[in-house]
Amino acid sequence: MKSYKEMSKEELKAELEGLNAEYQKYLAMNLTLDMSRGKPCKEQLDISMEMMDVLNSKVDLRCEDGTDCRNYGCLDGIPEAKQLLGDMMENHPDNIIIYGNSSLNVMYDTVARAMTHGIMGNTPWCKLDKVKFLCPVPGYDRHFAITEYFGIEMIPVPMSPSGPDMDMVEKLVSDDAAVKGIWCVPKYSNPQGYSYSDETVRRFARLKPAAKDFRIFWDNAYGIHHLYEDDQDYLVEILDECKKAGNPDMVYKFASTSKITFPGSGIAALATSLNNLEDIKKQLKNQTIGHDKVNQLRHVRFFKDINGMKAHMKKHADIIRPKFEMVEKVLDDGLGGLEIGSWTKPKGGYFISFDSLEGCAKAIVMKAKKAGVVMTGAGATWPYHNDPADSNIRIAPTLPPVEDLKRAAELFVLCVKIVSAEKLLEE
Amino acid sequence: MKSYKEMSKEELKAELEGLNAEYQKYLAMNLTLDMSRGKPCKEQLDISMEMMDVLNSKVDLRCEDGTDCRNYGCLDGIPEAKQLLGDMMENHPDNIIIYGNSSLNVMYDTVARAMTHGIMGNTPWCKLDKVKFLCPVPGYDRHFAITEYFGIEMIPVPMSPSGPDMDMVEKLVSDDAAVKGIWCVPKYSNPQGYSYSDETVRRFARLKPAAKDFRIFWDNAYGIHHLYEDDQDYLVEILDECKKAGNPDMVYKFASTSKITFPGSGIAALATSLNNLEDIKKQLKNQTIGHDKVNQLRHVRFFKDINGMKAHMKKHADIIRPKFEMVEKVLDDGLGGLEIGSWTKPKGGYFISFDSLEGCAKAIVMKAKKAGVVMTGAGATWPYHNDPADSNIRIAPTLPPVEDLKRAAELFVLCVKIVSAEKLLEE
């Protein structure tokens, strides 16, 4: 097909007329489809249902060190859960705290603690005039919501397929003691599905922060969330790398089983240096007596070990791979060669990132919404919901059934074409 | 038996000699008994084991509004959990947020939020020179630990069997805008087992705080934790009472199922005005996508309704009532008439409060510990662990088997007698 950019105004007008007629048909369908959030679909939830059977009234609920998981106690998690999530996160169990059902909650609490009490003896952030975070963009809206909520200034840093612009990260972190953190989704990033290169991770570990309490917030949400068993991304382990580089305390690493078992009922974990753990536990012991150990035990008894968890992840991949491939095919077929958008082809994670022509994203999302297809709000992938180019759109293909997804993707393609044609006609 | 206070020095010396000989026998027993924390015993945990069966792989995990409890979403809890905990807390479901496994965590987060963001538009507490909390004493050590951690100045207020000294509470709250809160365990209080009188609750609701963001932290931890079915304490409902008094936003009410089902794996809740809920949700949506709905569903399916929960509480009472009565009998038999200590006889809750002669509590607890019986640290029931009279000791009778408890209580009585006799001999 001919590129929209090469079309004459007349050709574009004719094209637009056809597109608008097609859009009317979609309006008549009264669709209600959701591609907005990274939610697992029903079939994905179903593969964890046997986890509901591993604990029952006949089962001994003591964990391997003899602790009765039903009672109070055990601030940092039962040993076998630390082992399992340690293996999942590629960290030693001694470096792990097991939390409740949400790693987002752990990240929020980590920022909140730094605000009120500071990190390892440094001034509490709430006592400073200015605190800044670096935000690789496009990125995860809920990360940005936390830092925005605490009044932390967010500085966008461009992403590339190998990770954030490290020249810029190094400069900002070295030059400005107000820069206290950076949000990272290092593997199968949200929303592009990029994985940081070995060099990127090593440069992270070798940062020379002006602030002693600078921390990398390493949200490894999709560490084992591959789409292709034989074509996976690998990530250099950041805690090890920081230790080697003489920056052992520079990173907080987060993960959870939210997209492994049940999103609302999984277990979350933090991995970090022993110094950081000691600092954190001083606070944690005031916040809780301990997290849900029965649920920790349930997860361990279900998976048995990391191999069980990896086998489980293949089942997830089998369910969602066709969805990613369907969306990619619809985008290829519908937009290939038109020069009105580009998109990523991730090997894992939960999202596809789409970039429209400048100034089109909001209009595309609105047009799709009008026809009943909800996308993540345009701008959501940028701090303050402010995408200066108005071009990035996050596509979340996991939730809808594949047939619905096909229709939703086709409508999305149509909306991209219409809004782009209109835009080009204005120029 | 003759009161120690009426004994001559010679009589006391002779008495002490006998007591010390007896203490030597205890040392030889190598006891390891724990009366330190309000932990349910194994038999109490066992009565909830059927809760492990109500959800299994064959069960539909959608709640009554159709939400799939396995997936993300539902920030404030599933409707049937709000109904159940609403009934338990005597509040409308619309006034409830269901949280994770720990009400302590909810209280901590409530203080943390006030520190960083203030309450309903008021200045964040971390921006103020001074924030104060009133602390009825003796009270719950974990409450005091939260306020201490945040650098909040704690002012002790004496307790009586009808509740805190309300003249003092009214005066401090009206006079000083730095007083932002008060910690209350209004029913079967920790550690005395006192329940606030109707008049006390009504005076609470009619407080005239100097600070607009003054809040009552109403930790109704033992609301349905009666020991005697036919002899229960009743508590006037504080939210209703505050509303009637024109102070609808003045109270945060906390509760959980920690001592109903499993302490580490229950569900917690907060009940408060719609204005406060709106204020809280603005923060909560940044902290989490939602709490563990599967566990909420598990609790509702197990209890069915408040009647199921009340029937369940009778089973708890049957298990722990003999333990309370055993301790009370040992105290009566061993210390009655000696004028060296007084203790409470609660109708519910988890503790007995013991007051020794002034200056004896630490020595008693240490002497018991030496012989292998761990009590809550003396002073723990006061802010900053500072019991100026050094007299209050919290006794937690629920955890040990009744025979162990008998021995532990007898040793405790012996330690009280020895330390008191020594004290009286010094005078």
Q: How would you label B150-186 residue by residue, b for 16+ Cβ within 10 Å and e otherwise?
A: bebebbbbebeeebbbbeebbebbeebbbbbbbbbbb
CB–CB of B264 and A57 under 8 A?
no
Spell out which residues of chain B touch residue A49, defining contact as CB-CB under 8 Å.
Answer: 57
Q: To the nearest whole angstrom, how far is the Cα of A290 from the nearest Cα of chain B? A: 7
Contact list, A263 vs chain B (CB under 8 Å): 70-72, 289
Q: Do A52 and B49 lie within an 8 Å CB cutoff? A: no
The residue written with tokens 């008894």 in the block is: A301
The domain segmentation of chain A, as residue ranges, is 4-44+310-426, 62-304
Residue found under tokens 């008998």:
B406
List the single residue in A52, A264, A295 with the smallest CB-CB distance to B56.
A52
Nearest Cα residue to A411 out of A121, A71, A93, A26: A26
Confidence (pLDDT) at B28: 95
Residues 210 through 239 of chain B touching chain A, CB cutoff 8 Å: none
Mean pLDDT over A241-267 rounds to 97
**What mean pLDDT comes out for the span A45-60?**
98
Q: Are A254 and A215 in contact (CB under 8 A)?
A: no
Record: contact B104-A145, CB cut-off 8 A: no
Closest CA of chain A from B340, distance in Å: 34
Tell me, yes or no, if B281 comes closer than 8 A to chain A by beta carbon. Answer: no
For residue A111, the chain B residue with the least C-alpha distance is B287
Q: Does A116 touch chain B (CB under 8 A)?
A: yes
pLDDT at B1: 74
Question: Are the Cβ atoms of B69 and A295 closer than 8 angstroms?
Answer: no
Nearest by CB to residue B70, choosing from A57, A71, A262, is A262
Cβ-contact A95, A272 below 8 angstroms:
yes
Fold that domain A4-44+310-426 belongs to in CATH: Aspartate Aminotransferase, domain 1 (3.90.1150)
What is the per-residue pLDDT for B247?
98
Contacts (Cβ under 8 Å, ≥6 apart) of B246: none
* Contact between A102 and B288 using a beta-carbon 8 Å cutoff: yes
Hey, is the C-beta of A29 within 8 angstroms of any chain B C-beta?
Answer: no
Out of B71, B101, B285, closest to residue A292 by CB: B101
Interchain CB contact of A54 with B (< 8 Å): no
Answer for the pair A36, A376: CB distance below 8 angstroms, yes or no: yes
pLDDT in tens, B167-218: 999 999 999 999 999 999 999 999 999 999 999 999 999 999 999 999 999 9
pLDDT of A178 higher than 90: yes
Alpha-carbon span A365 to A374, nearest angstrom: 8
Nearest chain A Cα distance for residue B60, angstroms: 10
Residues of A in contact with B292 (CB under 8 A): 100-101, 264-265, 292, 295
Distance CA B128, CA B117 (A): 12
Kindly give, in sequence order, each residue whose CB lies less than 8 Å from that of residue A35, ignoring residues fewer than 6 positions away.
A373, A374, A375, A376, A395, A396, A397, A399, A400, A405, A408, A409, A412
Give the whole-angstrom CA distance, residue A78 versus residue A76: 7
Is B264 close to A105, i.e. CB distance below 8 A? no
Under the banding of pLDDT at 50, 70 and 90, the label for residue A303 is very high
Question: Which of A132, A180, A176, A182 is closest to A153 using CA atoms?
Answer: A132
pLDDT for A427 equals: 84
Low-confidence ranges of chain B (pLDDT < 50): none
Q: What is the mean pLDDT of chain A?
A: 97
Query: What is the spatial distance between Cα A107 and Cα A149, in angstroms, rounded to a whole number?
Result: 13
The CATH code of the domain at B62-304 is: 3.40.640.10
Interface test with B, best of A48, A116, A261 (most B CBs within 10 A): A116
Q: Does A289 touch chain B (CB under 8 A)?
A: yes
Query: Using 50, 70 and 90 to split pLDDT, how confident is the model at A227?
Result: very high
- CB contact B65 to A (< 8 Å): no
Chain Cα centroid distance, residue A252? 15
Answer whether A288 sits within 8 Å of B104, measured CB to CB.
yes
Q: How far is A233 from chain B (nearest CA, A)?
A: 26
User: Which residue from B52, B72, B112 is facing A116, i.e. has the nearest CB?
Assistant: B112
Distance (Å, rounded) from C-alpha A382 to C-alpha A390? 10
Q: Does A295 touch chain B (CB under 8 A)?
A: yes
* Residue A1 in this model has a pLDDT that exceeds 80: no
pLDDT tens per residue across span A110-162? 999 999 999 999 999 999 999 999 999 999 999 999 999 999 999 999 999 99
